[in-house]
Amino acid sequence: MGKCAVITGASRGIGAGIAEKLASENWNLALCARQDAETGKAQCAKLKEKYGVDADYFRCDISSDSDRENTISSIIERFGSIDALINNAGVAPKVRADILEMTGESFDFVMNINLRGSFFFTQLAARQMAAQRSGTIINIGSCSATVASINRGEYCMSKAGVGMATKLWAVRMAEFGVNVYEIRPGIIETDMTSGVKEKYDNLIAGGLTLQPRWGYPEDIAKAVASLLRGDLAYSTGQVINIDGGMNIGKL
């Protein structure tokens, strides 16, 4: 059996890009999302045919305790090991509301998926990696971990939490030889940003990013592949910004 990478939120956007890139680098894939099994299996079939890897789909709502448990145990049964976990599933708030108007429902919705879901999914995978004494964990965080957007504060807080989760897991898993990283995308062209395309087109044209273009799922996927190849093997716990230089404060 080859090495198995688990990718959450693999159905579209950044997660689908990561799946394609890792398949091209010979990783077997356990793809997780909420789309129906037929669509997920069809995505796997395409990757298997194109790259000759093994791939399977596991329907999983990351905010559900029972889905997470069933998914991790099914993956271990199916693939025998978890060699990489890419925590990518994430949502923006359904409505961008000023923090003076934010509802508890929206706070819970975003936190339950982005922070609680990814943390407890990691916990299950980390127990397996600890037993194996091997593996790599990569959190897909966000530039919003440090940049305050008052009309989606719940998202910013969730991603700031992911930043601490990265450190916590790096500390906890070091004794097992498991490296933990966080990739912080900037502005990436996916469904998540499709509703604010014009706003970001204008900001990018106005110099928000040093490299004057949108990021693409491939930009994130290349960074994930590099980490899984071991290119930054002596850097556990670190944050890799993939944002066209957006994080540099300018005067």
* CA distance linking residue 16 with residue 43, whole number of Å: 9
Residue 72 in the binding site for ligand NAP (CB under 6 A): no
Select from 142, 166, 236, 241 the one that contacts ligand NAP (CB under 6 A).
142
155 catalytic residue (yes or no): yes
Q: Which is nearer to ligand NAP, 97 or 130 (CB)?
A: 97
Q: Which stretch binds ligand NAP (CB under 6 A): 4-12, 50-58, 121-129, 229-237?
A: 4-12
Residue 140 in the binding site for ligand NAP (CB under 6 A): yes
Catalytic residue from among 51, 155, 181, 234: 155
Nearest to 85 by CA among 111, 123, 50: 123
User: Under DSSP, is residue 18 helix (H, G, I), strand (E, B) or coil?
Assistant: helix
CB of 90 to ligand NAP, least distance (A): 2
Residue 185 in the binding site for ligand NAP (CB under 6 A): yes
Residue 193 in the binding site for ligand NAP (CB under 6 A): yes
Q: Which is nearer to ligand NAP, 4 or 91 (CB)?
A: 91
Select from 28, 63, 128, 236 the one that contacts ligand NAP (CB under 6 A).
63
As to burial, measured by CB atoms within 10 angstroms (0-12 exposed, 13-18 middle, 19+ buried), residue 208 is: middle
CA 178 and chain centroid, separation? 17
Instruction: List Cβ<8 Å contacts ≥24 apart for 160-166.
Output: 161/111, 161/114, 161/115, 161/119, 162/87, 162/114, 162/115, 162/118, 163/239, 165/115, 165/118, 165/119, 165/122, 165/139, 166/139, 166/141, 166/237, 166/239
Select from 44, 86, 91, 157 the one that contacts ligand NAP (CB under 6 A).
91
CB of 69 to ligand NAP, least distance (A): 14
Task: Give the total of residues touching ligand NAP (CB under 6 A).
Answer: 29
Q: Which stretch binds ligand NAP (CB under 6 A): 42-50, 78-86, 168-176, 185-193?
A: 185-193
Residue 247 in the binding site for ligand NAP (CB under 6 A): no
Nearest to 245 by CA among 215, 210, 217: 210
CB of 5 to ligand NAP, least distance (A): 15
**Helices (H) then strands (E): counts for the chain:** 9, 7
214 to each of 31, 118, 183, 209, how far by Cα in Å?
26, 26, 16, 9
Catalytic residues: 155
Which residues here bind ligand NAP, judged by CB under 6 A? 8-15, 33-35, 60-63, 88-91, 113, 140, 142, 185, 187-188, 190-193
